[in-house]
Structure 1
Amino acid sequence: MRWTSMLAIYVLFWAFSVFLVLPWGVRTTREVGGDYVAGQAESAPHDFRLGRLAIRVTIVATLLFVLFFANYRFGWVTPQMLDLFNREAVYNAV
């Protein structure tokens, strides 16, 4: 696999991980016991830490990419194994 393909796939994993990690550890103003700002949604986070979020997202994306790349190199799960409509080919291949 070319390094540019690896980079593109990593960026996709990173973008996916943002939505996966975003709700972790979020506390609203009501949960913290703080005061609302005019126009603030009740579900808005009380203290948004972009740096901590970026670190968490990078860790999760890196772990997912390492699993993906290891599967690519060692062939743990192949496209034929995921073929749900031709089950006989899957069982005969194993």
Structure 2
Amino acid sequence: MGITSAIVLFAVLWFMTFLVVIPFRIQTQGDLGEIVPGTQAGAPEHHHLKKKAWITTAIASVLWVICAFVIFSGILTVRDFDFFDRLGPRPTLEQSVPAEQ
């Protein structure tokens, strides 16, 4: 995994986690009984986005470390997801070692 793919993996994990964390502990105008005229009652009054962004960063970092470990260790490879054998046969040990001259 290169630096670019590591950054992209972290960004994807961060945004997916953020979308899960956003609805937790949100206080709407309807919950507080202070509805501003012209807005919906479900509009957020206290959203705590800075705190949620830090929580998201912590969770995404842990998930990224787990994913990076799985990728670098070789526990899962692309061939493990080749259900239709489109990558061809796996190379044998003789094919992967260069011949001596």
Same fold (TM over 0.5): yes
- Tell me by how many angstroms 1:24 deviates: 1.4
User: Residue 84 and residue 28 in structure 1: after superposition, are their counterparts in 2 closer, same or farther (change >3 A)?
Assistant: farther
Partner of 2:9: 9
Partner of 1:19: 19
Q: Percent identity?
A: 26
Partner of 1:56: 55
Code of the residue aligned with 2:13 in structure 1: it is F
Q: How many aligned positions are there?
A: 85
**Structure 2: tracts of 5 or more residues without a match:** 86-101
| 2:75 aligned counterpart, secondary structure | coil
Report the TM-score when normalising by structure 1: 0.70
Partner of 2:75: 76
> For the residues of structure 2 that align with 1:17 and 1:51, how far apart are their CA atoms?
14
Moved over 6 A (4+): none
- Tell me by how many angstroms 1:59 deviates: 1.3
Structure having the higher strand fraction is: 2
Greater relative CO, 1 or 2 (CA 8 Å, sep 6+):
1
- Tell me by how many angstroms 1:81 deviates: 4.5
> For the residues of structure 2 that align with 1:2 and 1:82, how far apart are their CA atoms?
20
Code of the residue aligned with 1:43 in structure 2: it is G
Code of the residue aligned with 1:45 in structure 2: it is P
> For the residues of structure 2 that align with 1:84 and 1:42, how far apart are their CA atoms?
49
Report the TM-score when normalising by structure 2: 0.66
Q: Deviations over 1:58-89 (max 9, x none)?
A: 11211211111111122334445456678xxx
**Structure 1: tracts of 5 or more residues without a match:** 87-94
Aligned-residue Cα RMSD (Å) equals 2.1
**After superposition, where does 1:42-53 map in structure 2 within 5 Å?**
42-53=41-52
